[in-house]
Amino acid sequence: MPRIVAILGATGQVGRTMLALLEERAFPCDGVKLLASPSSAGRTLTFRGAEVPVEPVGPGAFDGCEFALFGVKNPIAQQWSGPAREAGATVIDNSSAYRYVDDVPLVVPEVNGALLAARPTLIANPNCSAAPVVLALAALRPLGTLKKLLVSTYQSVSGAGSAALDDLEAGVKAGWGGATPPRLADGRPPFAFNCIPHIDRFEDNGYTREEMKVVWETRKILGLPDLPVTVTAVRVPVRIGHSAAVHAWFDRPVSPDDARAAWAAFPGIEVQDDPAHLRYPLPLDVAGRDPVVVGRARVDLMEPNGLAFFYVSDNLRKGAALNAVQIAEACLAARKHS
């Protein structure tokens, strides 16, 4: 039977990056099935040199598909995860709909890919800020036990979708030369020349849901359900690439040199940490690239067992599409080995 990979939400930013990565990584499949809402269907996208039509998702859409990569919002993911699994597909869902369900694995393959040995047919892909921080912290596990975590993010506008990038572009144009760009059509503050401490909706505890996602997901993926974590999530006028200032406190001192060595040896991480030569993580250098780039490692000044560092990750790649495709690759490897 030919191996077909479906992408639901194929015309969105994450969906298009999923498609590009299946080709770029030579994912072992015989074809793709591109699915989108009826309003986005009808276009074509290129895969391995051929034009592939985007079809409207509907009954029977997942028939014959071995994997279904979901790059859609929660309600759409909830609507189609059942039919896709019933059709025999393994669903890898980039929405947050299933991330906090106990028996759904939430996976960063380099960190907890062992969960895929159980052959789950629904796997949740983590939040775009959670995946990179978890990767950076997992690399440090041999150096000490993580006791507390604080993350302040600098998140790019592409994390808010294609339309938000258009809003950024329009705002930059309106603010060109020093003018204040206007609020967006829905009343939200403009992205251009601004820092917005509001991503996703607010929870009752005063944190945004984006902030709580990082709390919940780092705990679940690292297997530390009681880890004290606190987060501030801020949108900045960057197109692609989520950055974060991270403070991690361990049960013993973790030296910056040891941390850099551990990161350099860990899959999916690149170290850029030579400030004297202007080498540190920068969104403009990371956009369009796979690794989580880590640098600015230094001893936390507050507590000697603390390590401070800064990372940047392409939010459309390790924060979304890349991790989803890596999960599919890890599923295939798990099936071979079992």
Catalytic residue set: 128, 242
CB of 51 to its own copies, least distance (A): 23
CB 280 within 8 A of CB 269: no
**The one-letter amino acid at 211:** E
123-158 CB burial, b ≥16 within 10 A, e <16? bbbbbbbbbbbbbbbbbbeebbebbebbbebbbbbb
Rounded Cα–Cα distance for residues 144 and 307 (Å): 11
- The interface with its own copies within residues 267-306 (CB under 8 A) comprises 275-276, 278, 280-285, 287, 295-303, 306
308 near its own copies, judged by CB under 8 A: yes
CB of 77 to its own copies, least distance (A): 26
Of 12-20, 47-55, 113-121, 185-193: span binding its own copies (CB under 8 A): 185-193
Nearest one of 160, 234, 185 to 12, comparing CA atoms:
160
Nearer to its own copies, 90 or 129 (CB): 129
Nearer to its own copies, 109 or 181 (CB): 181
Nearer to its own copies, 50 or 163 (CB): 163
25 near its own copies, judged by CB under 8 A: no
220 near its own copies, judged by CB under 8 A: no
- The interface with its own copies within residues 50-109 (CB under 8 A) comprises none
Nearer to its own copies, 61 or 214 (CB): 214
Write the CA distances from 77 to 33, 80, 204, integer angstroms: 16, 5, 25
Rounded Cα–Cα distance for residues 99 and 78 (Å): 12
Binding mask 250-269 for its own copies (x = CB under 8 A): ------x-------------
Nearer to its own copies, 55 or 169 (CB): 169
Strand segments, DSSP code E, in the chain are 4-8, 31-36, 44-47, 50-56, 65-70, 90-93, 122-124, 146-154, 229-232, 242-250, 269-271, 292-299, 306-313
169 near its own copies, judged by CB under 8 A: yes
Give the three-class secondary structure for 73: coil
215 near its own copies, judged by CB under 8 A: yes
Rounded Cα–Cα distance for residues 205 and 200 (Å): 14
Which residues bind to its own copies, rule: CB under 8 A?
148-150, 152, 154, 169, 172-173, 176-178, 180-181, 187-190, 193-198, 202, 205-208, 215, 228-232, 234, 236-239, 241, 243, 245, 247, 256, 275-276, 278, 280-285, 287, 295-303, 306, 308, 310, 312
